Amino acid sequence: MCLYSHIEKLMPTKEKLTTQEKALQINLRREVYGSFAEIGAGQEVAANFFKVGGASGTVAKTMSAYDMKFSDAIYGRCDRYVCEDRLTGMLDHEYPLLPERLPHLIGKTRFFAFADTVEALNYDRTNQGQGWVGIRFQKRPDSEPNDCVIHIKMYDNDPLQQQYAIGIVGVNMIYACMMLEDPEEIMMSLMDGLSRRIEVDMFRLSGPDFEKVDNRLMAMKLVKNGLTRAAMFGPNGEVMQPSEALYKKNVLVLRGRFRPVTHVNVDMLLAARRYFKKEPDVEKKKMVVLTELTLNDLSSDGSIDEKDFLYRADTICSLGQTVLISNYFEYYRVAEYLSKTTRGKKIGIILGIYALQKVFEEKTYQNLRGGILESFAALFGNNIKLYIYPALKRDSNELFTLKDFEKELPDNLKGLFRYMMDNNKLEDIENANTENLHIISDNVLAMIRKGEHGWEKYVPHKVEEAIKEHGLFDYPYSLESDKIAS
């Protein structure tokens, strides 16, 4: 009996294997063979396979193009060395070399090319440890490859510990992609053995074996499962890495349930955008508009309906909007996150007037040591402004604006409110389309589900088309058309 076969049989079965056990199991799989290319701090992944023994059955090549000129000579010039473009260039270069140089293994081997480009803490501890990690891999011999790409942030306060963490992430990724089938299981296993040392804020799984994977849903699961606090995807459904997409951008964000998107939501965005563009410290060419969904708004009973989430995503994307998913329940937390991500650029937050009332409720901040003042320091920072959309007063058809808002505040908060107004931190949206203020999304949703006529006039035309074409929100007529078609 082969020594490695004997070891494999004796190896204890665990729910979660250690890094060493994963590396050894891969080494014992004679049909798995690949190459490693690591730039920057990511020098520990291949080392894990060598340390456990049997690496000759797994490792075709390891390399480290640490010098920038050497890296450019191999993978082409790149403005930034820790970015997704560099990672893609590494995978594009390394993977084709395997079948090209090892044609005799094509019919019996599952090839993979692993790559990472990583920035660890510098000597002065002035940067955020982060990096891109990816693998191009086959699930079966002589088949088209798949890609798994992630972006990570590292929270160890020692560069050496960050390097060790990268080594664990790399082994987890190779093991998951080569040995597991379920996309969510692949994603979750990336954190094995890492606890809170790593944050994964972007995850993309693509290829012929994962055609049914909706990476928008995977982005939501990153947040739901605690791998990150916020994730993003664009109008085309492609997931995005927030700190790269929003770096030094002027961001305007609207939080909502979008169930479904109505004319009110669209007018809030368009009207606030007109104000935001006029701000003296906003660069129009560097402006990003976001629609934000929080986990709290995706769940009413503690569970998240994935189908319902995709319905909302489809309607938002139909309007060409970029989506941010977060677990920042309080507005000041999302403001703080965006401020760090944009590196201090101007941020605009759009609120309905009744949402502003909740912002000024002191009981919301009982768990904060500094109470409402601590939260306001983040929410109304130097680079942040709130644009307030009016509503109809609950007892009349008159508009409820900031002027009325001040009158309803408790006396102890009026001075705080006046300070925000005097320092241009709050502004009424005066050009709102008041004819749409009677539209309530819950009522529109009920009409759609019951098959009642007339809901179409409350939503943008593209949203109407998306709902009808794809049967979103359990739209009944799509079911009837499906029956007719079959």
pLDDT tens digits, 193-207: 998 899 999 999 999
Q: How many CB atoms lie within 10 A of CB 449?
A: 13
* pLDDT score for 140: 97
* pLDDT score for 377: 94
Average confidence (pLDDT) over 48-60: 95
Average confidence (pLDDT) over 150-154: 96
Q: How far apart are CA 276 and CA 197, in angstroms?
A: 37
Cβ neighbours of residue 373 closer than 8 Å, sequence gap 6 or more: none
* pLDDT score for 38: 92
Say how many Å lie between the first and final Cα of the chain, rounded: 57
pLDDT band at 480 (very low <50, low <70, confident <90, very high): very low
Encode pLDDT of 447-462 as tens digits.
999 989 999 999 999 9
Q: Packing angle between helix 45-52 and helix 159-179, nearest 10 degrees?
A: 70
Classify domain 14-213 at the CATH topology level.
Maf protein (3.90.950)
Encode pLDDT of 375-390 as tens digits.
999 999 889 999 999 9
Average confidence (pLDDT) over 422-444: 95
Average confidence (pLDDT) over 143-167: 95
Reduced to 3 states (helix: H, G, I; strand: E, B; else coil), residue 189 is helix
The sign of the torsion formed by the CA atoms of 11, 60, 204, 122 equals positive
* pLDDT score for 4: 37
The answer on pLDDT for 479 being more than 60 is no
* pLDDT score for 302: 66
Q: Which two tokens stand for residue 297?
A: 């708004």
Average pLDDT, the chain: 91
* pLDDT score for 477: 54
Range list for CATH 3.90.950.20 in the chain: 14-213
Residue 443, sorted as left (phi over 0), alpha (psi -120 to 50) or beta, turns out to be alpha
* pLDDT score for 301: 66
Encode pLDDT of 68-95 as tens digits.
888 888 888 877 788 999 999 999 999 9
The answer on pLDDT for 482 being more than 60 is no
Q: How far apart are CA 198 and CA 211, in angstroms?
A: 28
| Residue of 45, 36, 100, 98 whose CA lies nearest to 65 | 36
pLDDT band at 309 (very low <50, low <70, confident <90, very high): very high
Q: How far apart are CA 414 and CA 453, in angstroms?
A: 46
Average confidence (pLDDT) over 205-233: 96
* pLDDT score for 11: 46
Mean pLDDT lowest among 6-10, 275-279, 374-378: 6-10
Range list for CATH 3.40.50 in the chain: 244-436
Paired residues of 116 in beta bridges: 38, 133
pLDDT band at 486 (very low <50, low <70, confident <90, very high): very low
Q: How far apart are CA 287 and CA 335, in angstroms?
A: 16
The answer on pLDDT for 185 being more than 60 is yes
Q: How many CB atoms lie within 10 A of CB 444?
A: 25
Q: Which two tokens stand for residue 446?
A: 């009920």
Percentage of the chain exceeding pLDDT 90: 81
* pLDDT score for 136: 98
The answer on pLDDT for 66 being more than 80 is no
Give me the DSSP letters along 305-354: -HHHHHHHHHHHHHTT-EEEEE---SHHHHHHHHHHHTTS--EEEEEEHH
Is the pTM higher than 0.85? The answer reads yes
- Is domain 244-436 in CATH 3.40.1130, yes or no? no
Average confidence (pLDDT) over 396-411: 92
